[in-house]
Amino acid sequence: MTGYVLRIERGLGCDGPGLRTTVVLKGCPLRCSWCDTPESHRIEPELMFREDCCVRCFECFDDCKLGAISEADGRPIVDHGVCRWCGDCADGCSTNARLQVGSVMTESRVLQEIERDSLLYRESGGGVTFSGGEPLLQAEFLLRLLEGCRALGIHTIVDTCGAAAFQAIERVADVADLIRYDLKHLDDDRHRRLTGTTNREILDNLCGLALRNAAVRVRFPLVPGVNDDLSHVRRLAQFVASLGISDIDVLPYRAVAAGRYESLGRANPSARVPEPGPDTVAEVVRVMADCGLSAAVVDRRPNGV
C-alpha cells in the first residue's frame, strides 16, 4: 500500500516521550486560519518556491513542459492555473529554490525509515508520532503503519483533529498507544468560520473515545483573538473534565508560517494573528486547573521545510 507523506523528521524530543521519529502525512479536511503547515493541506505532492534561494538563472522556463513559468519584474512567476505540480522544475533547480513537498511512499519504505532508529527508541523510551495534516485522512495507510510498528514493538502516537469517521478513529485507537486529540473551539458556528468545517463530529468522536476508555490526551492550540477568551477556555476545560479526562496540553500559537504560504503562492490567513504572551498562557493554565485539569504548556516551533 502507498500513501502521501509530507516529510519524516528524526530524533525529535518534543513529539511525545523519549526521542521520536515523526511521520508527517499530507492532507487535511480543515483549513484553520492559524495553520503553520499549509504545505500539508493538499494530499498530493506540490511545489514550493523559495525566492531567497533563486539566482534568476531561469532554467525552470525550459524545464516546465507546460509553460507555466514566466518572467515578471526579473522574477520567475508560476501560473498556478496551468501548473500540475509535476516536479520537473524542482528536479532541475540547482539551488533548491524550487522544492517538491510531499512524496508517494510505500508502507514498507516508511517502516524501514522508522526502524532505523529502533535502538534509539528503546534507550530513550521513545517511538513514532504520526502527524499531519490529518493522518486519519489516510486511515488505511495509517493503520498499516501502526500495525507494522506494533509488530516491531515500537511505541506509537497519533495526532488528530478528530474530523473523521468514528469507525476509523476507533480502529486507530485500538492499535495506537496514544491519541493526541486537538480541540480548537467549542462553538460550532465559530469553529466553522475558523476552520471551514463543523465541530460536531469532532466533539462526538472525543466523547466516543472517552466512553471506550481509550488512551487519549487532549491538546488545545491557544490562539489570541480566536479561542483565548477565558469564558470559552473555562467551558472547554469543563467539557474535557466531564469526559473523565484529566490531562491537557496547551499549545501557544507561534507565527512561523508566513514564508510557507508565500512559497506556495497562497495568501496567509494568519498574517495578523499575534502570539500569546506568557501572562495569557499562565491565565489559561490557571483556569484549566480550576476546572480540575492538569495542563502542560507545549511550546514547539515547527521545523522549517
Question: What's 60's domain CATH number?
Answer: 3.30.70.20
What pLDDT was estimated at residue 72?
85
200 & 221 share domain = yes
Residue 224 lies in a domain: yes
253 & 139 share domain = yes
**Residue-averaged pLDDT of the chain:** 91
Residue 259 lies in a domain: yes
Domain final position from 101, 129, 146: 101
110 & 210 share domain = yes
79 & 151 share domain = no
What pLDDT was estimated at residue 30?
96
Closest CA to 302 of 49, 96, 99, 7: 7
Rounded to 5 degrees, φ, ψ at 253 are: -60, 135
143 & 224 share domain = yes
18 & 81 share domain = no
162 & 285 share domain = yes
200 & 250 share domain = yes
What pLDDT was estimated at residue 156?
98
What pLDDT was estimated at residue 19?
92
- Reported as a single tens digit per residue, the pLDDT across 68-121 is 888 888 888 888 788 877 788 888 888 888 888 888 999 999 999 999 999 999
Distance of alpha carbon 271 from alpha carbon 176, whole angstroms: 35
Residue 302 lies in a domain: no
56 & 36 share domain = no
Residue 181 lies in a domain: yes
199 & 90 share domain = no
Answer yes or no: is pLDDT of 301 > 60: no
Closest CA to 21 of 100, 101, 120: 120
Which whole number is the average pLDDT over 193-215?
96
Length in residues, the chain: 305
Distance of CA 296 to the CA centre of its chain: 19
Distance of alpha carbon 184 from alpha carbon 32, whole angstroms: 9
Domain final position from 67, 82, 101: 101
Rg (CA), the chain: 20
Distance of alpha carbon 114 from alpha carbon 182, whole angstroms: 25
* pLDDT-derived band at 258, boundaries 50, 70, 90: low
What pLDDT was estimated at residue 302?
45
DSSP state letters, 43-79: SS-EEEE-GGG-----HHHHH-TT--EEEETTEEEE-
84 & 21 share domain = no
Question: What pTM, to 2 d.p., does this model score?
Answer: 0.87
Residue 265 lies in a domain: yes
Helix, coil or strand: residue 260: helix
Element (H, E) at 193: helix 188-195
Provide the residue range defining the domain that includes 27. Answer: 2-43+103-297
- Reported as a single tens digit per residue, the pLDDT across 166-202 is 999 999 999 999 999 999 999 999 999 999 999 999 9
User: Residue-wise over 79-107: b if at least 16 C-beta within 10 A, else e?
Assistant: eeeebebbbbbbeebeeebbbbbbbebeb
Residue 70 lies in a domain: yes
User: Residue-wise over 149-183: b if at least 16 C-beta within 10 A, else e?
Assistant: beeeebbbbbbbbbbbeeebbebbbebbbbbbbbb
62 & 109 share domain = no
Q: How many domains does the chain have?
A: 2
Domain final position from 101, 125, 144: 101
Residue 211 lies in a domain: yes
